[in-house]
Every structure is written in structure tokens, then in C-alpha cells.
Amino acid sequence: MGLTLEHQQKTHFIIYSIILIAIALLSIKIFFILEKTLSAQKEAAYIINISGRQRMLSQLIIVNALEHQKKPTIYSANALEESINEMQASHLLLINQPTIAKTIKNLYFQPNHIDKKLTRYLSLSRKVLENSNDEVSFNSLKEMSLPLLENLDEIVYAYQKNSQEETAEQHHLNLAMLALIFFLIIIKAVYVTLPIFQKLRFYFQLAIKDTLTGLYNRRYFFQALEEEHNRCLRYKTNYSFCMIDIDHFKSVNDQYGHPTGDKILKKVADTIKNEIRTSDQCARFGGEEFSLLLLRADENEAFLASEKIRIAIEKMVHTYKNENISVTISVGIATCAFTSKNKEAILSTKDMIQRADTALYMAKQSGRNKCCLWDNSTSDNVCPI
């Protein structure tokens, strides 16, 4: 069993470690995907801004060229030259940008040859700048203006579409990563966390239950008795404590053997559990002794409950090699009533156990197979009511 438990612990540890490492790696991957997405969006916004400026500059050049042709001055020449230089710089920046997708770059060179059109457009603009009376260059510039604007619009649209597609792709990848993390968390819960909780529950039950009868053990019952005692003291209520002992059980073990005795103990425990309320608690006190904690039960209620159990066990029959075995029980009952009219507050749980044990002794002395209540005349060495 030790080797099996050690193997299970090792397996759980390995699975838990693998899942944690996987979640950590996926989280790092998601972080880098988000960083890449933000960087791509930032770059796309920068490029789209430049492309949009190209459209504006193409129109600004034709406006400045018209003004320069009508009335050439140093100011009109400077305005036209500045717009030409800006468009030239923006064009070179776009076609040399390493982060721009290859398919978008190809739009500059094929099929509309926007690169050549832009170069031609800038060349005509410089001719008008150098000679304001060059009608041929100016007319050609005007003819190119609108088609070039449409081509530049196409470039901007392509940039936007490419950015949206990249963002959508990264978004889907992130969702896939998150789904995988969620799946790993479920695996961790099913194969690691749940077995651990089940083991903890098993060990907890093992710590508070008697393995043979399934009743609470003595240590846990003492704790429950102490809690109920304090609760009754606080709220001025009552409870009853019963000690149950199987009559002449040693002779059963001697005559039929301990395995048969264990079966009878289990049967007695099951009968007690079936006869008490769900709010009451029963424990194996030791050997063939059992204890009962009857919540909010006075002497009459405790006696009736004990009698019900006694009669049920008296009717219980266990078969051993075609021989019917019957057992009886003796019960000692002690009731504690915390009211403002009596002195029960001075009682302790130890006193209650002693009272019930004394009442049990009296039941044994008076012939067994009966229930006895503790009272003042039962003993002189316990706290009187």
C-alpha cells in the first residue's frame, strides 16, 4: 500500500508539474502574441498614416502647381517644392519599409505600377516647378492626378485589410491558446485536484470514523460532545448522553469467534444508526461499547429513544452455522438541562460521561437488557442535580 500511495503521489506530482509548465509556456506565448499584435497594429497605423498622407500630398501638389503656374512667386515655388519633397520621402519610406507585407509592396510595382506612376508624377511636378509655363507637363500632371489618387486609395485599403487580417489571425490564435489553457485547467482539476480532495476526504473520514462499524470514533465523539455541551450552556437548552454496552459479548467472541463477533458489532451499529434521528450522533466508544448524543432531548425523550434501540437490537438475529445468535444491550442515560432554575452549569462533559457510565452500571446490576436513567440516588460521587 505504501508503494502504491507513493506511486500515486509521484504520478500526481508529475501531472501537476507538466500542466503548470504547459500553462506557463502558453501564457508566455500569449504574451508574445499580444505584443506582436500591438506592434503590428502600431506599425500598420503608422504606414496607413503615411499612405493617407500620400493621397493628400498628391492633391496638394496639383493645387500648388496650379497656383505656381498662374502666379509664380518664391512662395508658390517653395510650397510646391516642399510638397514634392515630402511625397518623395514618403514614397521611399513605404517601398523600403521592411515590415510591409510582400503582397502590398507588389502593388507598387504590379499590376498598376504605382511606383512608376508616382515617379512620373513627381518628375512632372518638378518640371512645372522649374518652368511654370510648361503647359504640357502641367496638363499631364492634371491628367495623372485623379487616377493616381485612386491607386493610392487602393494602397491604403490594402494596408487596412492586411492589418485586419493579421489582427484577426492573432486573435484566433489567442483564443486557441486560452482554450488550451482552460482545457489544461480542467485536466488538472480532474486528474490532480479532485483525486487530492478525494484522498483528503478519505483520510478525514478515516481519522474520525471507526473502520469496523462506520460510526464516529471516540476522539471525534468527545469533540462533538464538548461542542454540544457548550452550545447548550450558551442557549440554555438540554441534551442527553447515553452509554450502550452489549450484554455478555465476551461469551459471543469466545463461543463463535471474533469474526462473528465483529459481524454482530457491525449489525448492532447499523441498527443504532437506523433507529436514531439524523441530528443525533453515535460513536463506538470502545470494544462492545457505544455512545449516543441526543440533541435537545430530555429524560423522557432519551429514555424512549434508548428503549426503541434496545428493542430493535433484542429482535435482531444473526445466523451462524444454522444457529441463530441474539444479543441484548444495557443503556445508561444522563440528561443535562441548562436552565436558570438549576445548577447544571457546573457540569462538565466528564461529569456527563461519569453519570451515564454509572447509570449503565446500574442497568447491568439490575439484570441487563434494560435502560436506566441517572438520578440523585444512583451515585453519591457525581455532581447532584
Q: Can 86 be counted among the known catalytic residues?
A: no
Cβ partners under 8 Å of residue 153, min gap 6 = 55
**Marked catalytic residue, from 67, 135, 228, 288:** 288
β-strand partners of 290: 244, 284
Cα–Cα distance measured from residue 89 to residue 109, given in angstroms and rounded to the nearest whole number: 17
Nearest to 218 by CA among 310, 281, 151: 281
Cβ 336 vs Cβ 241: under 8 Å: yes
Taking the C-alpha atoms of residue 382 and residue 385, their distance in angstroms, rounded to an integer, is: 9
Distance between CA atoms of residues 106 and 22, nearest Å: 40
Catalytic residues: 288
